[in-house]
Amino acid sequence: MVDPDVLRIENAIQKLQESADESDLIEILLQGALNWPLADEDDENLAIDGISDSWDDVLVEMGFSSEDAPIELRQVMPFPNWPHGIFIVRFGSNKFFTQGRGMTTPLRTILRELMEKVSPTADHPSWKKDQILFLCHSETEYFQFARFEVPKGDSKTSKIQMFGWGPNEHIRTVCEYNLKNLIYKDEMNEEDATKAFDSAFDVSKVSNEFYEDYRMEFENAKQFIENNSNLTEEDDIHQATQILFNRILFLRFIEKKKGWLQFGENGNYLEQLFKAGGIDSDTSFYSSRLRRLFFEGLAVEGKGEDPAYGKVPFLSGGLFEENELDKSINDLPDELFERLLGDGGLFYRWNFTVQESTPFDVDVAIDPEMIGTLFEELVTGRNEKGAFYTPRPVVAYMCREAIKSVLKERTDVDTEAIRKLIDDDDNEGLSIDDARTINSVLAEVKAIDPACGSGAYLLGLLHELVRVHTKLSTTAEDLLESRTEMKLRIISNSIYGVDLDRFATIQASLRLWLSISVDATEPELMPNLDMNIIHGDSLLNDDPQWVKKYEHFDWDPDGNRARAKQISIIRKEYISSSGEEKIQLRERWKSLLQEVMESKGEVEKSQGAYFGAIFYDVFVRDNGGFDIVLANPPYVRQEDIDESTKKNWVKNSEGLVSGKSDLYIYFYARAKQILRKGGVSCFICSNTWLDVEFGAPLQLDIIENFKGIRIIDFRKMRIFENAEVNTIISIMEKDNSEDDIDFIMFEDSFEKSIQDPLLRTEQTISKSELKSKASDSKGDYIGYKWSLILRAPEIYHSVINNHSDKLIAIRDVCEKTQRNNMRVLPKDSKMLKESAGDERDRAPFLHSFKDTNGIRLDLSKQKSISHPKIRHVMEGGNFVRPAIISNRFYGARIYFIEGGDFFVNDSFFIGQLHDRFNVKNTILALNSTLSLLFVELRGRKGQGGGVLSFYGPEFTGHQIINPTLLDGIDDAVYDSLVNREIGEVFVECGFDPEIPLREQEPSPLPDRKVVDELIFDILELTQEERNEIYWYLCESVQNREERSKSV
């Protein structure tokens, strides 16, 4: 059913566009469709003069003139219960709506002048930034609604959000998802109005709905391709569909550029082309028009005009080169394209914008940035390979931090001036010489993502570099260049990527091509990027530093130095080549690379990205290597890594990689190899290396070979929606020094935390202190739980440091610890759901933590193991009778189980006590609140899902109060604790989790309180410290659970 509100708005927009009468904007759209209670003309608007006089310089800088600028600004009188100021801005021409991100600067300028120049009146009060709505238009052709978000913390840059439409554009998105939320209702209160206002600019609703539509049509298209091609493999069918959709997406975006694609009556090129149908009655749209458009008009120079497809530019670049999958498609029926390009088809029922959103500027429409997410959502097996799409704010932050590190290391410009330039887009305090210095350094930057996926970091770094270069040109005019030239230069010379998935590299190239098209005023020949964005395995070949040695000693025993040099020269020529020259350069490049691998005996590694040869010029320059390595490496556990890769890296990583290392450790090792001295490594990856055994070599390597180190964790939120993994960001420069390491905890959402220093907790630890904490008696580094530095409260460190004589580790309490006690079971034993009872051929069996509800088991409610000799086995000398039992995974219920005469499954660790410790006191110590806090802090949180993992190393290293100090506790207290149900930590500590914890006084359950009070007395804790143990335990569990639900 059609929503009448949406239909009314759509009709109003159509009438407005047809009328060309500006007064209809007020009467038909605002008053009629949106029900805005506007006043009479004389009272309605407040004209503000001189709004364009003071910013002619800004216009010239952006390539505009004063005739293009805003020529009239009117303020709408406030509505009842509507807490927003509305300003209608008329522009002199449509250029700000059609060229790049032009709209951003004039709106920021207008906002600044409004705040400074306009005095409030009774009818026209002043407004906060986030309460202003701009309606910008050029006559009745182009319209943009825009608003700002108030910057958080130290940031001075407000995010601008926009939606709008232009001539001949499909307006479903703006009617259904945007303008519908701006309908004024008499019964509205301020809270309702604010929620509606926010919903009008919520890009997530638009993108999520589009993804679902896209997925449905994508799956439908796969069926058509399977039925009309020679393709039989699912992966081939999927990838052929992806290529088709990529091409259509690219053209749908660039048809927004006036005059680039010409066919039919309006600017909707693909729609008009499809309406024309097949050229002959017996030919399809695909065979007679679309196929020729792809492989002739757009791909072959001189074929740009033909009745079959109109007039189109020659683009080159590779997107429209016919490949083997294309050749396998016989034909595709019009029915498929009716669903994509026809009336109400996928690509025309959504509002598209060619302006790719940035952290500061967001279009509430389908923008090129979404291509990355579409790829990650739809590409076959990507998530199974451990690859996940990095959110835009995280990408932008990491890119900015990397740029700041480079500039601090390679220039003498004031650090705060650099920060303001990069973080706030503020060049105040920069001299002309400073601007030129920064520009020259950034112009020479070489950055790479060795697991680039669909290019999130490549696009993110491009955006940041363009923004910085543009700002610098306002300080030093001689740095001014067009955005198109700037992007082509940066993409050609500074940005590189590698990925094992060929179609990921195609997707990354597509996004870079689109980014160039955003700002181009005329069609540009797209650069050939397949020698900059490499399809290959970043981990397969050896250390690329061999080329530096050859160059340094002027040595070339096998001819590979000359080959590598030629490969580098070809890469630079190839990027702008086309036609036969392009084909010849590509073949020569492949041939030389093959010769290098044959010479080095690595032909079997032909799928590798041979860094030394491919990026020869990067490694042989002064202090050769990459300036920046940005990465979100795949999340693959060590057991899923093929043995040849594992063996190669264990041998060649100088001890950094072990047989137990997860795959991201390999990428840390590769980054170290390809970085120049002083280069910055900026990774987001699993946080497990902070704690687990295989992380120790990486910790030591960071301490000894890097400086400027920052480790960033997230207390309340998880970064990746589809990855059951918790992550950290590491930022560090390759250079040995004795400086300290900064450990930073983001206490709130990512965006709020990066903007507001009050939402970040920072600790600085010296390298020497870290080494001393984690070295054995021989002085060898054996690893330390770095997560404790980030997450443990002061009370933890106080107890550990000041009362070590009263604490003891489980390994010292037990004479034996092990995982389960099932090794002695006969091979043909069976698990039964029924309890053992008195049956001689059965024994009680603790199968799962879910089968328990307290410390002492009711064996009549446990499963059993059956075998004729089961009792004989238990009475034999090899049966390990557990005294204490620890689960491997915990949620909000954390407790240790009392042992007994039963078998324990593989998900538990067990311990047998030394004679000097009794079970009662040990169980009391283990289940004290102090012990539970230590479990929460020292357990592993890398797997996500709100689960706390407590494996063997955590169990044996777990510290408790020495059980011999607890003799004074009455047996009745022990019996009460072990025989009752153990609740979530909130219940045990006496909190209501629905109320802020620190607004409540701890009120532990009586038996728990007796145990805790004795332990607290032994440790001589103050009341504040006692409360902190209860608060922090419950807060940490709460945060762990919230983080699992945070995406």
- Kindly tell me if the per-residue pLDDT of 382 is higher than 50: no
- Kindly tell me if the per-residue pLDDT of 126 is higher than 70: no
Which DSSP state fits 383?
A: G
Distance of CA 6 to CAs 12, 179, 792, Å? 10, 8, 53
Enumerate residues 6+ apart whose C-beta is below 8 A from 548: 619, 620, 624
Q: What pLDDT, on a 0 to 100 scale, did the predictor assign at position 122?
A: 54
For tokens 């009818």, the residue is: 123
Q: Tell which wins on pLDDT, 282 or 20.
A: 282
- Pairing mode, if any, of strands 159-165 and 361-363? parallel
What ranges do the domains of the chain cover?
4-201, 206-352, 541-624, 630-753, 794-1044
Band (pLDDT 50/70/90 cuts) for residue 380 is very low
Orientation of helix 919-926 relative to helix 971-979, angle to 10° = 60
How many C-beta atoms surround the C-beta of residue 289 within 10 A? Answer: 25
Q: Tell which wins on pLDDT, 504 or 466.
A: 466
- Kindly tell me if the per-residue pLDDT of 514 is higher than 90: no
Q: What pLDDT, on a 0 to 100 scale, did the predictor assign at position 154?
A: 54
Q: What pLDDT, on a 0 to 100 scale, did the predictor assign at position 432?
A: 95
Q: Tell which wins on pLDDT, 73 or 793.
A: 793
Band (pLDDT 50/70/90 cuts) for residue 660 is confident
Type of residue numbered 723: A
Distance of CA 112 to CAs 183, 457, 748, Å? 28, 32, 29
d(CA 1017, CA 851): 35
Beta bridge partners of 496: 448
Q: Tell which wins on pLDDT, 110 or 412.
A: 412
Question: Which of 441, 350, 368, 363 is closest to 402 using CA atoms?
Answer: 441
- Kindly tell me if the per-residue pLDDT of 152 is higher than 60: no
Band (pLDDT 50/70/90 cuts) for residue 179 is very high
How many C-beta atoms surround the C-beta of residue 122 within 10 A? Answer: 6
Band (pLDDT 50/70/90 cuts) for residue 824 is very high
Q: What pLDDT, on a 0 to 100 scale, did the predictor assign at position 386?
A: 52
Which tokens belong to 540? 């397969």
Q: In CATH, which superfamily holds the domain spanning 630-753?
A: Vaccinia Virus protein VP39 (3.40.50.150)
- Kindly tell me if the per-residue pLDDT of 400 is higher than 60: yes
Band (pLDDT 50/70/90 cuts) for residue 42 is very low
Q: In CATH, which superfamily holds the domain spanning 794-1044?
A: DNA methylase specificity domains (3.90.220.20)
Enumerate residues 6+ apart whose C-beta is below 8 A from 285: 273, 274, 276, 277, 278, 334, 337
77-81, 354-358, 621-625, 715-719: which is most confident: 621-625
Band (pLDDT 50/70/90 cuts) for residue 387 is low
SS (H, E, C) 750-807: HHHHHHCHHHEEEEEECHHHHHHHCECCCCCECCCCHHHHHHCCHHHHHHHHHCHHHE
Q: What pLDDT, on a 0 to 100 scale, did the predictor assign at position 157?
A: 64
Q: For residue 511, how many C-alpha atoms fall within 13 Å in the half-sphere facing its CB? A: 30
Q: Tell which wins on pLDDT, 448 or 386.
A: 448
Average pLDDT, stretch 411-416? 94
Beta bridge partners of 164: 144
Band (pLDDT 50/70/90 cuts) for residue 895 is very high
Q: What pLDDT, on a 0 to 100 scale, did the predictor assign at position 904?
A: 96
Q: For residue 608, how many C-alpha atoms fall within 13 Å in the half-sphere facing its CB? A: 22
Average pLDDT, stretch 590-601? 87
- Kindly tell me if the per-residue pLDDT of 44 is higher than 50: no
- Kindly tell me if the per-residue pLDDT of 165 is higher than 90: no
Distance of CA 953 to CAs 377, 788, 868, 1038, Å? 37, 15, 36, 24
Out of 267-281, 331-345, 720-734, least confident range: 720-734
Q: What pLDDT, on a 0 to 100 scale, did the predictor assign at position 494?
A: 96
Q: What pLDDT, on a 0 to 100 scale, did the predictor assign at position 287?
A: 95
Which DSSP state fits 29?
A: I
Average pLDDT, stretch 814-821? 94
For the chain, helix, strand, coil in percent to 5 are 50, 15, 35
pLDDT in tens, 329-374: 999 999 999 999 998 899 988 877 766 565 556 666 777 777 766 7
- Kindly tell me if the per-residue pLDDT of 102 is higher than 80: no
Beta bridge partners of 817: 911
Q: What pLDDT, on a 0 to 100 scale, did the predictor assign at position 431?
A: 94
Average pLDDT over all residues of the chain: 86
Q: What pLDDT, on a 0 to 100 scale, did the predictor assign at position 124?
A: 55
- Kindly tell me if the per-residue pLDDT of 43 is higher than 50: no
Which tokens belong to 1043? 């983080």
Report the percentage of the chain scoring pLDDT > 70.
Answer: 89
d(CA 667, CA 656): 11
Which tokens belong to 325? 């999958």
Out of 87-96, 456-465, 744-753, 789-798, least confident range: 87-96
SS (H, E, C) 807-867: EEEHHHHEEEEEECCCCCCCCCCEEECCCCCCCCCEEEEECCHHHCCECCCCHHHCEEEEC
Question: Which of 755, 686, 641 is closest to 941 using CA atoms?
Answer: 686
- Kindly tell me if the per-residue pLDDT of 51 is higher than 60: no
- Kindly tell me if the per-residue pLDDT of 381 is higher than 80: no
Average pLDDT, stretch 709-717? 88
Q: What are phi and psi of 922, to 5 degrees?
A: -70, -45
With H, G, I as helix, E, B as strand and everything else as coil, classify residue 523: coil
CA dihedral 956→961→964→966, nearest 10 degrees, is -130
How many C-beta atoms surround the C-beta of residue 876 within 10 A? Answer: 10
CA dihedral 793→799→804→806, nearest 10 degrees, is -140
| CATH topology identical between 630-753 and 794-1044 | no
How many C-beta atoms surround the C-beta of residue 497 within 10 A? Answer: 28
Enumerate residues 6+ apart whose C-beta is below 8 A from 208: none
d(CA 367, CA 347): 12
End-to-end CA, the chain: 32
- Kindly tell me if the per-residue pLDDT of 602 is higher than 80: no
For residue 539, with 0-12 CB atoms within 10 Å meaning exposed, 13-18 middle and 19 or more buried, which class applies?
A: buried
pLDDT in tens, 218-231: 999 999 999 999 99
Q: Tell which wins on pLDDT, 1029 or 19.
A: 1029
Task: Give the chain's radius of gyration (CA, Å).
Answer: 33
Q: What pLDDT, on a 0 to 100 scale, did the predictor assign at position 229?
A: 95
